[in-house]
């Protein structure tokens, strides 16, 4: 199967109200352009440096760049003008830095709160019980808008994935009933190549697919 066939399969199998983010980490500009030619406009990177390089290389294209990996506070300043949506707000300290750097350029940061729904030591994201505190801090901001939630679930079979996705959806729906100034539940970002179908069944409206589009990732060692 080639790239355009893989894209057709995925776009053909997701409902119109689900947004596909093509995860282009480790991929070349050439590969990204092939996906772009298949009418994909949302691309996700997990490293700031890589996002910046690709953004700058593809300035003339109409691409929305998503930062999907952990964001270090000292790197926020580099992405203010380049990122469309930050999927990985996971602490009050990061929030304060985003508020500061975006205010300096008079820009609004659109972010998702990343929840470590599987409570894994190895994963970033906040724990469910810390969510309300973070939201209260977001309410004090003038340059940050929370647009929804994101998660990376623990590896597992379909049954266990479904449980985590359901937990996320329930948090999302609960927040939807509350009224905030800077927090609005519009996006639920969950599901990757191996589980995006289950994620959509459980309410995801942003899926982040890498290998399912680009083929197997080969990391330089
Ligand atoms: C790499 C990555 C993905 C995509 O994973 P695939 O298995 O290639 O679809 C999605 N989300 C995040 C945060 C990632 O780092």
Which helix (H) or strand (E) element contains residue 137? helix 131-138
pLDDT tens by residue, the chain, 221 residues: 888 899 999 999 999 999 999 999 999 999 999 999 999 999 999 999 999 999 999 999 999 999 999 999 999 999 999 999 999 999 999 999 999 999 999 999 999 999 999 999 999 999 999 999 999 999 999 999 999 999 999 999 999 999 999 999 999 999 999 999 999 999 999 999 999 999 999 999 999 999 999 998 877 65
Is 21 near ligand 1, meaning CB less than 6 Å away?
no
| Ligand 1 atom 7, closest CA | 193
Domains of the chain: 3-214 (3.20.20.10)
Handedness of CA 152, 86, 58, 101 (dihedral sign): negative
Is 20 near ligand 1, meaning CB less than 6 Å away?
no
Is 211 near ligand 1, meaning CB less than 6 Å away?
yes
The end-to-end CA distance of the chain, in Å, is: 26
| Ligand 1 atom 11, closest CA | 208
For the CA of 210, the nearest atom of ligand 1: 8
Is 155 near ligand 1, meaning CB less than 6 Å away?
no
Is 210 near ligand 1, meaning CB less than 6 Å away?
yes
Q: How far apart are CA 151 and CA 50, in angstroms?
A: 21
158: which residues sit within 8 A by CB, 6+ positions away? 195, 198
How remote is the C-alpha of 218 from its chain's centroid? 22
């Amino acid at each position: 199967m080639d790239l355009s066939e893989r894209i057709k399969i995925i776009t053909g199998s997701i409902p119109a109200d689900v947004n596909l983010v093509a995860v282009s980490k480790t991929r070349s500009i050439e590969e990204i352009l092939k996906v772009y030619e298949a009418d994909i406009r949302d691309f996700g990177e997990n490293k700031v440096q890589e996002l910046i390089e690709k953004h700058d290389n593809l300035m003339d294209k109409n691409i929305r760049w998503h930062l999907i990996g952990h964001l270090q506070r000292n790197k926020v300043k580099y992405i203010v003008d380049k990122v469309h949506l930050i999927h990985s707000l996971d602490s009050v300290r990061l929030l304060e830095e985003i508020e500061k750097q975006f205010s300096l350029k008079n820009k609004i940061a659109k972010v998702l709160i990343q929840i470590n729904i599987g409570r894994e030591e190895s994963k970033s994201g906040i724990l469910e019980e810390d969510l309300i505190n973070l939201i209260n801090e977001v309410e004090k901001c003038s340059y940050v808008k929370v647009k929804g939630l994101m998660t990376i679930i623990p590896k597992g079979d379909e049954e266990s994935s479904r449980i985590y996705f359901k937990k996320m959806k329930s948090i999302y729906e609960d927040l939807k009933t509350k009224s905030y100034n800077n927090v609005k539940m519009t996006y639920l970002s969950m599901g990757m190549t191996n589980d995006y179908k289950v994620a959509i069944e459980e309410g995801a409206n942003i899926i982040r697919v890498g290998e399912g589009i680009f083929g197997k990732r080969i990391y330089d060692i």
